[in-house]
Amino acid sequence: MYLGEQPDPAIAPPTQPVETNFIYDADTDNFSAVNAYHHVDQSIRLVVDYGFPLSTIFDGTTFPVKVDHRDASKGEVQALGYGNATHTGSDGFGFNLAKSGCPVGIATDFRVVWHEFCHALLWDQVEGLNFGFAHSAGDSLGVILSDWATQFPDRFVTFPFITDIDRRHDRDVTAG
């Protein structure tokens, strides 16, 4: 993976000398960039650790994939899993802000990254952004992997820190 830019806005990823730490305030582009890269990398490594070979689950994806921490191409509060030109694999990830008017990046929430990661899997496996019967598995994986650590008062809110996205995980399945 690499921190790559989508066209708008062009905000360079942070750099640090070798053997120094990335230490940034949470409301900075640099903090967003580090989180975007780390969380996408962590998602890929976890799936591989579960025994799914990268060459099988991402056989249509060319690595390294782009990770843009400030991709405003589809709106101010947004995260995207891009498909490649042939719709047979991932063409990277784009993240922007967690809330309109707030400088904190949406990629700081691991659950959002899992949502987009599953779109990347779908591009590669079903040649589309979504399942035919559901949006994706990303919200569920994000919630499951984050549930053990949640201290949010309402654990069924999918993205508790991103109030512009209203999703829950306690709906009645029979209600649709």
Can you give 114-133 as a three-state secondary structure string? HHHHHHHHHHHHHCCCCCCC
| pTM of the predicted structure, to 2 decimals | 0.81
In the chain, where the domains are located = 29-175
Cis peptide before 64 (omega within 30 of 0): yes
Burial of 51-81, coded b for 16+ CB within 10 Å and e otherwise, reads eeeeeebbebbeeebbbbbbbbeeeebbbbb
Q: How far apart are the first and last CA of the chain?
A: 37
Nearest partner of 109 among 72, 101, 173, 117, judged by Cα: 117
The residue among 30 and 148 whose pLDDT is bigger is: 30
- Residue 54: partners with Cβ closer than 8 Å, 6 or more residues away: 44, 48, 63
CA-to-CA separations, 60 to 7, 10, 54, 158, in angstroms, rounded:
23, 27, 10, 30
Give the single-character DSSP code of 13.
Answer: P
Question: How many CA atoms does the CB half-sphere of 117 hold within 13 Å?
Answer: 26
The pairing of strands 90-95 and 67-68 is parallel
Mean pLDDT of 84-106: 89
Q: Which amino acid would we find at residue 163?
A: T
Dist CA 36 CA 19 (whole Å): 20
- Kindly indicate the confidence band of residue 35, based on its pLDDT and cuts at 50, 70 and 90: very high
- The SS3 assignment for 104 reads strand
Q: What is the pLDDT of residue 45?
A: 92
- Kindly indicate the confidence band of residue 49, based on its pLDDT and cuts at 50, 70 and 90: very high
